[in-house]
Amino acid sequence: MAKTIYVLNGPNLNLLGTREPGIYGRETLADVEALCRKTAKAHGLDVEFRQSNLEGEIVDAIQEAMARKAAGIVINPAGYTTTSVAILDALLASSLPAIEIHISNIYAREDFRQHSLVSKAAKAVMSGFGINGYALAINGLAAMINQSKT
Ligand code: CA2
């Protein structure tokens, strides 16, 4: 049976493609999902793709990934990046390899965006590649998953 990775998206990412195209591009969240599925398929991985505006639902999704023995997590915590001890704790508790991804380069933006709590539980962080960062994150995660098999 194919392994599954979870791709989790935080608050307001459902608005992708409809607002602030100068920062986040013109692609929609449906485009991101299609890109993730195509990239994961090339590695023989299934994708569980979620977006939520609610912190607790993101925590629940991380616990679900753990309970279902998912192979790893790609997460764009969006506005919860710098505030959510709950998401950090869920990722730490899961022990799953997690890649944090940001569409924009958070280090070229306001100071308050640059102090990620989630990074403390992440194997790697991707920031500033636009939505292609999701594909890069999945490629990197797939390499980690394969490495841990050997
Ligand atoms: O660059 C990213 O991916 C962010 O995680 C996006 C978050 C922001 O709070 C982080 O600092 C960086 C914001 C997501 C909101 O997404 C929107 C998309 C389109 C229009 C408006 C908001």
Q: Is the CB of 15 under 6 A from ligand 1?
A: yes
Average pLDDT over residues 41-65: 98
What ligand 1 atom has the least distance to the C-alpha of 104? Answer: 1
Look-up: residue for tokens 């924009």?
104
Q: Is the CB of 75 under 6 A from ligand 1?
A: no
| pLDDT single digits (tens) 57-90 | 999 999 999 999 999 999 999 999 999 999 999 9
Q: What token pair was written down for 102?
A: 């940001």
Strand partners of residue 7: 49, 74
110 in helix, strand or coil?
coil
CATH number at residue 103: 3.40.50.9100
pLDDT at 150 over 80: no
Tell me the residue range of the domain where 16 lies.
Answer: 3-149
CA angle in degrees (0–180, nearest 5) for 98-124-13: 65
CA of 146 to the centre of ligand 1 (A): 30
Count of structural domains within the chain: 1
Considering the candidates 6, 24, 80, 134, report the single residue annotated as catalytic. Answer: 24
| pLDDT single digits (tens) 97-136 | 999 999 999 999 999 999 999 999 999 999 999 999 999 9
